Structure 1
Amino acid sequence: MCQLLTYDLICCHSSQKWDYCAESQANGRIPCKSQTHRVVSYPTPPEFEPAPLCHRPECHFNRLDGVWNCCWCGKTHNTTGRCSGMMIYQELTTCDHICCPFCERGTTRGCWGSR
């Protein structure tokens, strides 16, 4: 049975990879008729090979070398694609902004540290 693996990446994008079985056709380039799909969440569990790198040219997280400052809340030194800065609206919540073209390359740890 061939399996399509969708990896959730550190940058918040995803990447797909086929795991072909013996019944696949064209030397393992065409999946068999019995297919399954599985989503592999970040961080990648140890039973899977490491997640692939994001190859999207528009991936701002990669353009900023994986360390960025949030343009929404100001948290510095984010090291995943989604901001973990704390904010208070009606309650305490995380910022959750995804690294975008307006976010800047990460600086050394500022007042927010690397929470």
Structure 2
Amino acid sequence: MNYTEKQIDTIALQVMKDIDWPYNIKKGPSSFETTIEEQYEKYKKIDGFEENKHKIFAFWVTSFEFPEEEGWNGRNMMFILTRDDNGEPYEVGHRQSKFKILKNEDGKYYTEPLKR
């Protein structure tokens, strides 16, 4: 683990501020890491794993609840995925959509539609 939960929370909060997505401030972010080893164990029986395991990296998932006034009451969450090797967030989304996270020349985060 290269980053701490607190560091990842700070990065995620900056992303939410830069992209101007509201969230439940009373609850704040909640982050957990997914290691390379956990992913190896999960995917090792899938065809093509050995040929593609070099693409696997450790990452953090940070979740946020929607603002109270939107009435979701915990039934929908927003999330940010952040690489553990460099601390760069790369995806943000919720149940309805997902976006790629990029950084402009001023260091401010922004989103683009995710192409899958």
Rg comparison, structure with higher value:
1
Q: TM-score range by the shorter chain?
A: under 0.3
Higher helix share: 2
Higher strand share: 2
Under a length normalisation based on structure 2, what TM-score does the superposition of the two structures give?
A: 0.20
